[in-house]
Amino acid sequence: MPAEPIIRFDSVTKSFGALAAVDGISFAAVAGETIALLGPSGCGKTTTLRLIAGFEDPDRGTIEIAGESMIGKRPYERNVGLLFQHYALFPHMTVAENIAYGLRHRHWPKAEIATRTTEMLRLVQLDGFGPRRPQQLSGGQQQRVALARVLATKPRLVLLDEPLSALDAKLREELRLELKQILAATGSTTIVVTHDQDEAMGLADRIIVMNRGRIEQQGAPAEIYAKPASRFVASFMGRSNWLDGTAKATHRGPFANVVLDNGLILNIANPGLADDTPVSLGIRPERITLGQPADEDRVTGANQFGGQILGVTDMGAETHYRVTSPAGPLTVVRPNSGEHRFTAGEPVRLGFCAEDCLVFPHPAAPR
Amino acid sequence: MDSKRRPNPLFLPAAGLFLLLFVLPMAGLVVESLRTYVPGRIGSAEGAPFTAANYAELVKPSFAVFFFQTLRLSLAAALVGVFCALPLAHWTARKLSPRWRTLAIGFFVTLMFLSVLVRTYALELTFGAVGPLGPALRAIGISTNSRGYIEILVAAGLLHYIIPMSTLTLLATFQNVDPRLTDAAQVLGAPAWKAHLTITLPLCIRGILAAFLFGFTFSISAFVIPMILGKGRVLFISNLIYTRFSEIANYPSGAAISVVLFVLAMLLVYVMTHLVNKRWAQ
Amino acid sequence: MTPRRADDIIRFLCKLMNCAIVLFLLTPIIVTTLMAFDARDYLGPLPPPALSFRWFTAFFSDSYFLKGLAISLKLAACSVAISLTAGIATAYATDQTTFRGKDALIAFFLSPLVVPPVVTGFALLLFLSKIGVIDGFARLLCGHIIITIPYTIRATLAALSGIDRSYTEAALILGATKRRAFWDVTFPLARTGIISGAIFAFAISMDDVAVSIMLTDAKTYTLPIALISSMRANFDLSIAAASVMLMAMTVLLIVILEKLIGLNRAIGQGVFR
């Protein structure tokens, strides 16, 4: 039996003037699940969040939390928690007063508020920080106080608005793990809004990729990365080498061809498009294998050709190569795990599988 | 939320005060300015016939001279004020250490806040006929009673406010101009003064214009400064309104002059907000 | 002349001009301060041969001035209290909401700032006489409310709009109603801005001449009116003493504003230092 969804969006639309910020989107989250709304700025993810929180009301569609319609409900009647991008800790209150704020408005007895506040401070590992002011804390500590304030009221749903964007890169990774742990420990149903794919992949069980107010694709992080549903998703999640061409021989079973604009023929998995459709073909840089020209064992895949190393950038854990090839210049990423490292000017052999070619109708062509 | 779309009724107390103390009086002013004046009577008679005579008489030389005088001295004060404020603001923005800059800003703000009475009294005491500098001025052949000197004194009164005000306006403007631009101009071969003339000034033109218009608007509605320093010989439009009321109780005429001054001030404010904000907003 | 020389000359001229301007701005203040402590009972050349507090004593033993001071203080307190209340109510009503004509309404509430005060005063004089308000204090109060209220509205609105919307939203989502969120979070954060607006309004009321002179009568007059009429009548140095005290008050006010909101912020910090 499928679990009762904690939150359900059904063809929700919200426009500002002529612009539809959210355009008929539907999704649901079950208890304990963490969902990421991922997309570039202006894709509608923040509006979606504000609709859930109750700062905006939808023009059309229904929003339900635990089976109860939220239309017309004020933010303080919804019992959802929201972690603000810059935390919005009240600067004129102490850390403890901040955490207790929501409890006071739920008319908890004083003693219980004190107990709960201490408990929350322990949960985020800030025991004894209660009497301090938010301004006296580091960015990471402020974030944890904000999280404690959100979780103190045991909200039915936790919303995170770009939770890690205000922190620097090193701290971000640390806090991402901690955040995930705390959310799991409290069993919170969570919706994360972010434009950062690492944040989405690191926190979420399921990712919803949004673009121009619509949902482009939803699914598990690995699935979205490996099988993007559109060229937009493919280019927003990770990097790819993009080549333009035309689909050919699409009626002949599991495989087909793409004839690149320069005449080179590549083997691809059959994309189910009509012959002669202009297409964009993407190959992930880490899916291309490299070897010395004679090295036919190491280089795998249905597409193989010779090339030459143009430039090498050593990134520590991996090496980025720029390689000339008959298909045009390609970026190739190889892990630094004892493989032979090439130098600029060296002739090489490249290869990639037909299944690794991500083929989409060319964005300029009619679908 | 639906409540975002309609105004909260709590703005009504203020709206009521404005209606009673601002809108109705201003409307009454316009009506009064069209009433026929009966000499010897305080205020127009109830239901006195309407006339445009109160406005017509303003173009007569005996009235026009006050308007001309106000505009001439205000224009001069605003121009000189901005001219003086330019190097002062640049010096404060660029040449002073943070500590001294805060002090300098404090000095200008204090001067701006200074009671207009204190300002005029201090100027009269220092540069007036009976003041301690009087003998010194007479010794170098300046008559403190000449019309020219009184005009300069009135302008000095206006400048004593305009200079600090313009300096603060331009200070904010200069602080938004990247100093590396003039550095670049100098590296490219322009002398410092030419670099400022061709880079800093064009970039600051909005601030300069704003400071000028602000000074001009302040000057044309000045009241206390010409009243004290003008000694009854240099009168501004504001003073004329007051004498219409206090000396001959010709309310309709005072109202007509008020309407003209009001329109003049509004025109300047309109120019200030639209010209300065839109034309030069890139 | 080489460009270098021209540069040096212009730089020197600018420095000279700056010195002259600062001197012009400062001299009247120094002269007035010196004269206020002058022990002589006539206006003589500077510097005074002996110093005394006699003019300060004279000011405080003059019932004409004292009555003006008392009325001024009472008037400023009453008008600021009224315009602050109306200002906060207005700001609360318009804060974080959008409705048609909101900008126009705010522009309207700030419009007395740009009307020449003499015009405001004269219009009120006509209106109050017509509707029969003859009590001197009531007339002055009306005038002072309309000249102070734009300052309180402007300061309160600016203080509120300077507060990140997410603070209020955080309070709302934690369970506070809109009204509670305002009193718990928004108002405390805006308090310094609102207080500085009140200080502004108080100073404006204490300093006003152009509106008050229209509405004053023989028995009800403010300190500035008292000072201005005796200034025109005779050249009494107790006015210099009063001026020194008013200057001291101004400096005090600036120091309070500096401590409260910081002068740099008050006049707007630029991008480049």
pLDDT tens digit at each of 282 positions of chain B: 444 556 678 888 888 999 989 999 999 889 888 888 777 666 666 667 788 888 888 888 888 888 899 999 999 999 999 999 999 998 988 888 888 888 888 899 888 888 888 899 899 888 877 766 777 777 777 777 788 889 999 999 999 999 999 999 898 888 887 777 777 777 666 777 777 777 778 888 888 888 998 899 999 999 999 998 988 888 999 999 998 888 877 888 889 999 999 999 888 888 877 776 654 443
The dihedral built from the CA positions of residue C218, C223, C228 and C234, taken in this order, carries a sign that is positive
- Is A235 a domain residue? no
Task: Calculate how close chain A gets to C252, using CA atoms only, in Å.
Answer: 26
Largest CA distance in chain A: 78
SS3 C143: helix
Pairwise CB contact (< 8 Å): C173 & A75: yes
Cβ distance A105 to C166 less than 8 Å, yes or no, reads no
CA pair distance C67, C53, nearest whole angstrom: 21
Which residues neighbour B183 within 8 Å (Cβ) at sequence distance 6 or greater? Answer: none
How many domains, in total, are found in chain A? 2
Q: Are C177 and C115 in contact (CB under 8 A)?
A: no
Question: Which of C14, C19, C25, C65 is best to mutate for the B interface (most B CBs within 10 A)?
Answer: C25
Within an 8 Å CB–CB cutoff, is residue C177 touching chain B?
Answer: no
Say if B183 is an interface residue toward chain C (CB within 8 Å): no
How does pLDDT run across C130-188, given as a tens digit for each residue?
888 888 899 999 999 999 999 999 888 888 888 888 898 899 989 888 888 888 888 88
- Could you give the C-alpha distances from A32 to A184, A204, C76, in angstroms and in order? 8, 11, 61
pLDDT the model gives residue C137: 92
Contact C94 B91 (CB under 8 A): no
For chain C, domain boundaries: 1-52, 63-267
* Chain A contact for C174 (CB, 8 A cutoff): yes
The residue among A228, A253, A282 that closes a domain is A228
Instruction: Say how far apart CA A136 and CA A98 lie, in whole Å.
Output: 14
Measured CA to CA, the distance from residue C26 to residue B110 in angstroms comes to 11
CB contact under 8 A, A54 and B2: no
Specify the pLDDT at position C164. 85
Chain A residues within an 8 Å CB radius of B2:
57, 72
Structure tokens at A143: 């974030």
Domain membership of residue A305 as a residue range: 241-361
- The answer to whether residue C169 neighbours chain A at the CB level (below 8 Å) is yes
A&C contacts, CB < 8 Å: 60
Chain A residues with CB-CB distance to C172 below 8 A: 54-55, 74-76
Contacts of A153 in chain C (CB under 8 A): 174-175
Residue of C nearest to B228 (CA): C232
In a domain, B17, yes or no: no
Q: Percent of chain C having pLDDT more than 70?
A: 92
Task: Identify the CATH number of the domain in which residue B117 sits.
Answer: 1.10.3720.10
Q: Are residues A205 and A260 in the same domain?
A: no
- Cis amide leading into A221 (omega within 30): no
User: A176 and A69, same structural domain?
Assistant: yes
Is residue C271 scored above 50 in pLDDT? Answer: no
The per-residue pLDDT for A2 is: 57
Contact between chains at A74 and C172 (C-beta distance less than 8 A): yes
Asked if residues C121 and B244 have their Cβ atoms less than 8 Å apart, the reply is no
Quick check: C170 and A84 CB within 8 A? yes
Q: Point out the residue among B130, B160, B258 whose CB comes nearest to the CB of C123.
A: B258
Answer yes or no: do A265 and A224 share one domain. no
Which residues 74-133 of C have a C-beta within 8 angstroms of B?
Answer: 82-83, 85-87, 89-90, 92-94, 96-99, 102, 105, 108-109, 111-112, 114-120, 122-130
DSSP chain B: -GGGTS--GGGHHHHHHHIIIIIHHHHHHHHHHTBPP-TTSSSPPTTPPB-SHHHHGGGSHHHHHHHHHHHHHHHHHHHHHHHHHHHHHHHHHHTS-HHHHHHHHHHHHHHHHS-HHHHHHHHHHHHSSSSTTHHHHHHTT--TTSHHHHHHHHHHHHHHHHHHHHHHHHHHHHTTS-HHHHHHHHHTT--HHHHIIIIIHHHTHHHHHHHHHHHHHHHHT--HHHHHHTTTTS--HHHHHHHHHHTS--HHHHHHHHHHHHHHHHHHHHHHHHIIIIIT--
| Same-domain check for residues A192 and A340 | no
Specify whether the CB–CB gap between B185 and B198 falls below 8 A: yes
Q: pLDDT tens digits for C32-58?
A: 888 888 877 766 666 777 788 888 888
Residue A173 domain-assigned (yes or no)? yes
Domain at C63-267: CATH architecture: Orthogonal Bundle (1.10)
Residue B97 Cα distances to A221, B91, B181, C8, C273, angstroms: 55, 11, 21, 22, 10
* A215 contacts A208 by C-beta, under 8 angstroms: yes
- Residues on chain A touching C166 (C-beta within 8 angstroms): 84-86, 88
pLDDT tens-place string over residues C192-203 = 888 888 988 998
Do A197 and A67 belong together in one domain? yes
- Do residues A170 and A265 share a domain? no
Q: Does C31 touch chain B (CB under 8 A)?
A: yes
Name the residue facing B106 among C146, C263, C268 (closest C-beta). C263
Domain count, chain B: 1
Angle at CA A166, nearest 5°, toward A162 and A171?
105
Which stretches of chain A score pLDDT less than 70? 1-3, 364-367
Nearest-CA distance B280 → chain C (Å): 18
Instruction: Please give the residue of chain B at the shortest CA–CA distance from A56.
Output: B1
Indicate if A136 and A250 belong to the same structural domain. Answer: no
Task: Name chain A's partners: 3 or more CB pairs within 8 A.
Answer: B, C
Tell if the CB–CB gap between A105 and C188 is shorter than 8 Å: no
Selecting from A76, A85, A91 the residue whose C-beta is nearest the C-beta of C173 gives A76
Here the ipTM equals 0.86
Q: How far away is chain B from the Cα of C90, in angstroms, using its nearest Cα?
A: 4
CA neighbor of A206 nearest in space, from C39, B61, A214, A215: A215
A301: domain CATH number is 2.40.50.140
Q: Are C262 and C252 in contact (CB under 8 A)?
A: no
Is residue A38 helix, strand or coil?
strand
Do A143 and A174 share a domain, yes or no? yes
pLDDT for position A14: 93
Task: State which residues form the domain around B101.
Answer: 60-279
Question: With an 8 Å Cβ cutoff, is B17 touching chain C?
Answer: yes
Are residues A249 and A185 part of one domain? no
Q: Does C273 touch chain B (CB under 8 A)?
A: yes
The whole-number pLDDT of residue A282 equals: 92
Give me the phi and psi of B232, to 5 degrees please.
80, -5
Residue of C nearest to B15 (CA): C109
Q: Which of B32, B105, B251 sits opposite C263 (nearest CB)?
A: B105
Sign of CA dihedral B135, B136, B139, B144: negative
A122 lies in the same domain as A92: yes
Taking only residues 54 to 73 of chain B, the set having a beta carbon closer than 8 angstroms to any beta carbon of chain C reads none
Closest to C146 (Cα-Cα) out of C167, C173, C115, C171? C115
Pairing of strands A68-69, A214-219: unpaired
In a domain, B49, yes or no: no
Domain closes at, from A196, A228, A260: A228
Q: Give the gap in angstroms from C-alpha B13 to the nearest C-alpha of chain A.
A: 27
Q: What are phi and psi of A333, to 5 degrees?
A: -115, 125
Separation of first and last alpha carbons in chain C:
34
Reported as type and span, the H/E element at residue C222 is none
Q: Report the C-alpha gap between C227 and C130 in whole angstroms.
A: 29
- In single-letter form, the type of residue at position C166 comes to S
A82 and A186, same domain (yes or no): yes
Q: What is the DSSP string of A88-106?
A: ---TTS-HHHHHHHHHHHT
Question: Could you say which of A179, A196, A228 is where a domain stops?
Answer: A228
Residue with tokens 């804060």: C95
Whether B165 maps to a domain, the answer reads yes
Whether A74 and B2 lie within 8 Å, measured CB to CB: no
Please check whether residues A108 and A19 belong to one and the same domain: yes
Selected residue of A101, A150, A158 to mutate for chain C interface (largest C Cβ count, 10 A): A101
Give the N- to C-terminal CA distance of chain B in Å, as an integer: 35
